[in-house]
Structure 1
């Protein structure tokens, strides 16, 4: 959103050197030792990377090799903007005083000289429970049909890729689908309804957790005006149109479109904690019969496929 850090690109020689140094560690799945190697080289933030994120670890090591400094030493284009205006929306959003709109950015004056363009940012979201239900339904939709995510995961496996081995196979949905299909292949193309529903549940949970992290991140970016997307679309569009043509820079989200905190009441907090998925298509054991039949027809020939 604020631009990428202006870090140096690794030369082919440096990239090859880094790959050589990390190759044995990755082959032996010694993630901790690889992290310590990069930390000792000069990037303490490497220890905060997601486990087995070898791509980012290699990139961190390449930057140190190329520049002598970690990536954190390079500023993004609008670091100055962020430092001057802060990003305390998350604490405000969850604070006790809910009379103050944590997503109201009208009190912050932005000099147009600091930015390449004059722009207004809006974030449209639904109440958390509605969002979670939509995500669960979307995961079901992605499994339905012969050209859904299971078909795409099959193509990735047939290409020789394993789950969690690169950016594509780490993606939410693809990793879970590939792992599930690998188990099916080891069982001669067979899957029980329980195994299918376990895969679906894991897929949905990972998707909801990712959405939750996204919301947390964007709450820390005070430049956004939050709008309740569950309200009539025409109302949101009219407000955005008027804000764009207003030109004054003073924007106040009306109560009719204002997002409420998901933790602003005990009732909502309790609903969030007790949330349970209620599927739309896959409800009973027999509802996944077509999927299991497809797996039996397409995965049985790969019984000797390697397990990740």
Structure 2
């Protein structure tokens, strides 16, 4: 899709090859003596140095719904700002889950250093607390080398903890961890989720009933916290909640003419460890849904698509919806579809394939909707329109990073509305119908059905 002679951000991300352009800056290096190491260190001139004891180092955060073009924007910014990228994606941490997580290409990772990608086997769990520790350490390392941290991803809880801090919840001893595992192992083996939930509820955590079905990791963690502290997870202070309470109170007390963005910036500067520049990238919902549907189709093409990755998960002994990796959008649906095919000797009808594709697309759209709802309530993000030319979006964030006044407003042409703009848009969204590009007819899936038969 083209606009004014420049390709849009989302189109660049999904369909167009990247055309190299001259960087807006050229990195120069400053030699600074580090008194602790007693030897010179090199710092990039793109790093933000602000005089004063209250100065905080800048960190760029880019989020948005699935398929919005976050990775492309982060990559281009990293090249302009001498930056490194920290992935805030709960699926990209897993090795082998490349297509379904839209993982940055190997060439992109060679071009710009990426962190927290391919660090675990899919059989391993990865918690938001672990992400906080790993991402904060990566941030320190990047800043220490004189480069710019650019955190990008759509996992809202990861980003919330990363910016505001994690609760001071006690870490369970090895003895308690083993005890909890034993108590829940039989129930998990019998697939008795309700029984396991009631066990944890009786132990003292009534909120266990609100956990997502089969989220055994969080259920075990809840029981570990109960046994370690005698209190449920909800009893511990959440840094984000404190921030919101202070923000809401300040907004109520502020004068009518004071903009909420000014109040947010003031509290951010006092309460947060870094000077976070946060952006949420999206497009009008109808365009986003069409983009997501097409991307789901793309993930099924070729011999190395998401079905092949899902087959590898099954061959590794994993079952759908059994842990973090197999609960993720796309992999869960693909694994369930493959198990159905296995029961039929590797056979699948076109109707079964199209039902799987439809479920995959619907789950992806619903996930994007949940992401937008989550971030709509996050006051620190500026919403940007991903359908605008890539260069326009990059230049605005680049300028904002170097702006010392913090008064740089998002131009109207680049703003993305948080809510639907009109009744017409709401009506069109309600009547939305998927229009497939690759799989419009029954015969279009014949190659995939043949490949599935050979997989068995």
TM-score above 0.5, yes or no: yes
Of 170, 179, 193, which residue of structure 2 is paired with 1:31? 193
Deviations 1:45-93 (A, max 9, x none): 1111011211111111111111112212223445432221149xxxxxx
**1:209 alignment partner, one of 362, 366, 369:** 366
8 Å contact kept, 1:105–1:251: no
Runs of 4+ in 1 over 3 A off after TM superposition: 76-79
1:168 to 325, 337, 362: 325
Task: Indicate whether 1:250 and 2:412 are aligned.
Answer: no
- Alignment of 1:63 with 2:225, yes or no, is yes
Alpha-carbon offset, residue 241 of structure 1: 2.2
8 Å CA contact 1:105–1:224 kept in 2: the answer is no
2:442 maps to 1:285: yes
CA RMSD of aligned residues (A): 1.9
Q: Do residues 14 (structure 1) and 171 (structure 2) align?
A: no
8 Å CA contact retained: 1:106, 1:251: no
Structure 1: how far apart are the matches of 2:240 and 2:320?
36
Q: Contact between 1:163 and 1:170, CA under 8 Å: does it hold in 2?
A: yes
Between the two proteins, the alignment pairs up a number of residues equal to: 284
SS at match of 1:256: helix
- Following the alignment from structure 2 to structure 1, what is the Cα–Cα distance between the partners of residues 448 and 278? 42
Structure 2 partner of 1:188:
345
Do the aligned residues in 1 keep the contact of 2:278 with 2:381 (CA within 8 Å)?
A: yes
Aligned counterpart, 1:225 = 382
Question: Residues 214 and 322 of structure 2 are in contact (CA less than 8 Å); yes or no, is this contact kept in structure 1?
Answer: no
Aligned to 2:355: 198
TM-score (norm 1): 0.86
Partner of 2:10: none
Counterparts of 1:22 and 1:212, CA distance in 2 = 33
Matches of 1:282 and 1:266, distance apart in 2: 31
1:19-38 C-alpha deviation (Å, 9 max, x unpaired): 22222332333322322221
Measure, in 1, the Cα distance between the counterparts of 2:313 and 2:306: 10
Counterpart for residue 105 of structure 1: 261
Q: Could you tell me how far apart the structure 1 residues matched to 2:303 and 2:313 are?
A: 15
Counterpart of 1:122 in 2: which secondary structure?
A: strand
Aligned counterpart in structure 2 of residue 115 of structure 1, from 255, 269, 272: 272
Could you tell me how far 1:107 is from its partner in structure 2? 4.3
Q: Is the 8 A contact 2:383 2:418 kept in 1?
A: no
TM-score after normalising by structure 2: 0.59
Distance 1:111 1:197 in 2: 48
* 2:247–2:263 CA contact under 8 A, matched in 1: no
Of 116-125 and 248-257, the range deviating more from structure 2: 248-257
Higher strand share: 2
Alignment match of 1:41 (pick from 203, 210, 213): 203
Bigger drift between 124-133 and 26-35 goes to 26-35
Mapped to 2, the partners of 1:78 and 1:24 lie a distance apart of: 36
Structure 2 residue ranges without an equivalent (≥5): 1-159, 250-258
User: Separation in 2 of the partners of 1:144 and 1:288?
Assistant: 10
- By percentage of residues, which structure has more helix? 1
CA distance in 1, matches of 2:248, 2:394: 28
CA distance in 2, matches of 1:49, 1:257: 37
SS in 2 for 1:17: helix
1:52 to 214, 219, 224: 214
Cα offset, 1:189, TM superposition: 1.0
Contact 1:18 1:62 in 2 (8 A): yes
TM-fit CA distance, 1:219? 0.5
Gaps of 5+ in 1: 88-101, 300-308
* Distance in 2 between residues matched to 1:86 and 1:135, nearest whole Å: 35
Distance in 2 separating the partners of 1:213 and 1:78: 19
What do residues 166-220 of structure 1 show as CA deviations (whole Å, max 9, x unaligned)?
Answer: 2111111111111111111111111111111110110111111111101100011
